[in-house]
Amino acid sequence: MLTHNAAFEFSEYDRRIAKTRVAMSAAGLDAVFVTDPSNQAWLTGYDGWSFYVHQGVIVTMEGEPIWWGRHMDMMGGRRTCWMRHENIVGYGDHYIQSTQIHPMQDLSQRLKAHGLEYARIGVEMENYYYSAKAHAVLVEELPAANLIDVTALVNWQRLIKSDAEICFIRKAARITEKVIHTAIERAAPGVRKNDLVADIIHAGITGVGDDWGDYPAIVPLTPSGLDATAAHLTWDGAPMRTGEATFFELSGCYRRYHAPICRTVFLGTPPDEMRHAEAAQIEGIAAGLEAARAGNQACDIADAFMHIMAKHGIERSGRMGYPIGLSYPPDWGERTASIRHQDKTVLLPGMTFHFMPALWMDSWGLETTEAILIREDGPAETLCDIERKLFVKR
């Protein structure tokens, strides 16, 4: 029996499986074992907070994929995956956190039962969810198989979004607008940061109209003052203070799809150097968006922005963005292309990025960023409609 709870039509999953098999064939693989929860969801629709235990998707060159995980989560698979129930399988709880046996022993038996004992099997070695122990056990249990690192093989198939995916990202963008507006409106001297974050989370989960909000893959990043000189701090219970900037790196989330952006609020009168950086950053973003055209390369976006920074005498290094779409914690990026000088990935219509040329200086941070869509013609579309500026509240 096929479930009707998966996020997309069956034809969308057929498209994804076909793309993955083309990549598998090019790599000379008989099967892949996919553990990244974003890749699992993209291939099968599986959606559950169970990625803290061993689970994954087996894709071969024929037939439906197989979702494999803890037995109790197998039931969630039957509620969210598009495949027939016999292709959603589970292992017993006696494997969980045992020092005597390991879930990969169960997986290896299933792979053997599918004729993969001597196969070339791709595994995601550089993945948060595939442990060194898991790999060691799988190697031991499948001595005749050839386990090959295919980190990001599926991720790269996700880079160009379908029309159905772009629809979900646009819904996420409307929720992003709501949470950003909430942050800007609520920010004021004396407001405890945790209370502000509670309002942000409430706005995101409430969603917009009938488009309910899902939990984002990254919690609200909301550092103030000197904390904002760092990129990834969260919040505390301290009150917001006059004379400090706070950046808000936030995303709405709809059916696991994201559209993150950042905006910065200054309480009081911003220093001249921040105003100078604001003008340069906004000019640089405009130049980057102009370069974000189909046929150009990811590096062209970064180089256009950095050219403006150099003109204004502002030093900046590092990556300036990454692909976005379907994601689970701890990251809403897709871990493939990067907006940076070294990346020659050709931009194609349907790619979506978080263009993130933030500035972290010695005593403050300024984050103004955009979620963008590469279009058939012309510069990239910005997916969120939020004024691009430093928001000042006196």
φ/ψ of 226, rounded to 5, equals -65, -30
Beta pairing partners, 322: 354
Q: Are residues 98 and 169 in the same domain?
A: no
Residue 360: per-residue pLDDT: 95
For residues 353 and 267, membership in a common domain is answered with yes
Residues 365 and 344 in one domain: yes
Confidence of residue 1 (pLDDT cuts 50, 70, 90): very low
In whole angstroms, what separates CA 103 from the centre of its chain? Answer: 27
In a domain, 327, yes or no: yes
Strand pairing class (359-360; 365-366) = antiparallel
Is position 216 within any domain?
Answer: yes
Q: Please state the rounded mean pLDDT for residues 209-235.
A: 97
Q: Is residue 256 part of a domain?
A: yes
CATH of the domain at 82: 3.40.350.10
Task: Using a pLDDT cut of 70, give the percent of the chain over it.
Answer: 99
Examine the domain organization and report whether 245 and 321 are in the same domain: yes
Contact 57, 68 (CB under 8 A): yes
How much is the pLDDT for 4? 58
Yes or no: say if 325 and 335 are a contact pair by the CB < 8 Å rule: no
Cα angle 316, 320, 324; round to 5: 165
Residue 65: which domain range? 10-157
* 339 domain-assigned: yes
Q: Which of 137, 157, 177 is the last residue of a domain?
A: 157
In this structure, the answer to whether residues 133 and 193 fall within a common structural domain is: no
Helix 132-141, helix 103-113: angle, nearest 10: 40
Query: Same structural domain for residues 206 and 221?
Result: yes
* Segment (H or E) for 176: helix 163-186
Q: pLDDT tens for residues 69-95?
A: 999 999 999 999 999 999 999 999 999
Query: pLDDT averaged over the chain?
Result: 97
Kind and range of the H or E run holding 247: strand 245-250
pLDDT at 328 over 50: yes
User: Does the pTM exceed 0.85?
Assistant: yes
Domain co-membership, 195 together with 343: yes
How far apart (Å, rounded) are the C-alpha atoms in residues 308 and 95? 56
Domain limit, last residue, from 113, 132, 157: 157
In CATH, what number is assigned to the domain containing residue 340? 3.90.230.10
Judgement on whether residues 135 and 177 belong to the same structural domain of the protein: no
Q: Tell me which H or E stretch contains 69.
A: strand 66-70
DSSP state, 209?
T
Asked if residue 4 belongs to a domain, the reply is no
171 and 120 in a common domain: no
Whether the CB-CB separation of 147 and 119 falls below 8 Å is answered with: no
CA separation for the pair 366, 216 (Å, rounded): 22
pLDDT bucket at 6, cuts 50 / 70 / 90: confident
**376 within a domain of the structure (yes/no):** yes
148 and 170, same domain (yes or no): no
CA distance 327 to 317: 26
CA distances in angstroms from 280 to 21, 263, 269, 305, 359, listed in the order given: 45, 15, 18, 9, 10
Q: Are 365 and 249 in contact (CB under 8 A)?
A: no
Domain count, the chain: 2
Check if the beta carbon of residue 19 is closer than 8 Å to that of residue 307.
Answer: no
Q: Give 29-65 pLDDT, tens digit per residue.
A: 999 999 999 999 999 999 999 999 999 999 999 999 9
117 exposure class (CB count in 10 Å sphere: 0-12, 13-18, 19+): middle
110: in domain? yes
DSSP 11-57: HHHHHHHHHHHHHHHHTT-SEEEE--HHHHHHHH----S-TTS--EE
**Same domain assignment for residues 126 and 264:** no
In a domain, 2, yes or no: no
Residue 273 confidence (pLDDT) above 80: yes
Do 389 and 244 sit in the same domain of this protein?
yes
DSSP, residue by residue, 91-139: E-GGGTT-SS--HHHHHHHHHHHTT-TTSEEEE-SS-TTS-HHHHHHHH
Rounded average pLDDT over 364-393: 98
Last residue of a domain, one of 157, 188, 209: 157
